[in-house]
Structure 1
């Protein structure tokens, strides 16, 4: 009888305990330091996420950072690489971790690997109503996917890694600087035409604080 009472007490204790929560840094930054604020995540989140990228074109660099709460299932880690025929490229990394404050770490952008890997993709970049004039480019390093990304009225096609497909940023302007809505499709088949759609399609829509408007003149170099 005493054992049964202890067993029932243990069940009640477990049931009464609060759900597991993790604490993560949260912030979004464009060309500014983004260390984030330590936040207690909602109970549905069990993972901290850190994404950082550098976009380059004609010697100019645009840096983005995002620290957030997420789930292990949806967090896709790995090196972020993509490039287009016009010389535009993005490199960075997605980090996933499961202990408190683990996404506060500093980061280093991975070195660009220019070794051709044998894969080819169609590539172009154009803003409507201009036609996206495709040409074939050679993929490099770990770029194993062809992607098509639409950012508002702009379309881009080129080579990319899986982590880019899952974590890409889309930055444009309206009345204020925003991370704009985007659609991205990725396929791992070689194509001289349209890429296949893969499950890694993502949609992103995040408002950035008005203080980030300092980046506006620079961003206009990219889009």
Structure 2
């Protein structure tokens, strides 16, 4: 498997050594883009990023010449990942490719539908700073794991919440999303939120058994 991955990576490097044209955003909101010649060993990238802090949500589109290390997904394969701390969330949908102008398309906004899973989290940045997190986070979109982490830089933070499984194996990307050096533990199964009807049924059944 390691040999196969090495061969694939080497082939990708040889391909990207050739001249490649990619689309680059022509204005701040990327409503238009232009084709430019990229440096050697580049790949084309298109990213739609969703950031939420408190009640404020922003969506940013970026198209550019990128590098293979900044593309965690398979070339030509659209990938979505997300991390949700409760009081803040960041989700990305990304496509990296190696044919001329293959990043012209604008990707859809990452999924924000609550998926029924729940994880321990922080209610605010203040709780994260003082390590007193005791909230519950409703997971959204592709978030299918719980995570718990602490930063390794000068400011010690408790960071926990929901995460997509693909970020659990890409901790370097995860650290970039949270703007810091971190040590994370994730992969614990999330619990599905019990509906009111199911809860009522469970209570009734318990009473019958008693």
TM-score by length of 1: 0.52
Deviations 1:40-76 (A, max 9, x none): 233223x311122122344422223332322289432
Q: 1:63 aligns with which of 59, 65, 71?
A: 59
- Equivalent positions of 1:1-223 (< 5 A) are 19-26=17-24, 32-34=28-30, 35-45=32-42, 47-68=43-64, 69-71=66-68, 74-76=71-73, 77-86=78-87, 88-117=88-117, 120-123=119-122, 126=125, 130-135=129-134, 137=137, 139-145=139-145, 146=147, 148=149, 153=155, 155=157, 156-162=159-165, 166=173, 182-190=180-188
| Contact 1:83–1:90, Cα closer than 8 Å, also in 2 | yes
| Contact 1:148–1:185, Cα closer than 8 Å, also in 2 | yes
**Counterparts of 1:28 and 1:53 in 2: how far apart (Å)?**
17
Which protein is richer in helix relative to its size? 2
3-state secondary structure, aligned to 2:103: helix
Rate the CA distance shift 1:128–1:52 in 2: closer, same or farther, 3 A: same
Structure 1: 5+ residue runs without aligned partners?
1-18, 172-180, 192-223
| Contact 2:48–2:92, Cα closer than 8 Å, also in 1 | yes
Matching residue of 1:198: none
Structure 2: 5+ residue runs without aligned partners?
1-16, 190-210
| Contact 2:50–2:110, Cα closer than 8 Å, also in 1 | no
RMSD of the TM alignment (CA)? 4.2
Rate the CA distance shift 1:99–1:139 in 2: closer, same or farther, 3 A: same
**Counterparts of 1:153 and 1:28 in 2: how far apart (Å)?**
37
TM superposition shift of 1:90: 2.9
TM-score by length of 2: 0.55
Matching residue of 2:200: none
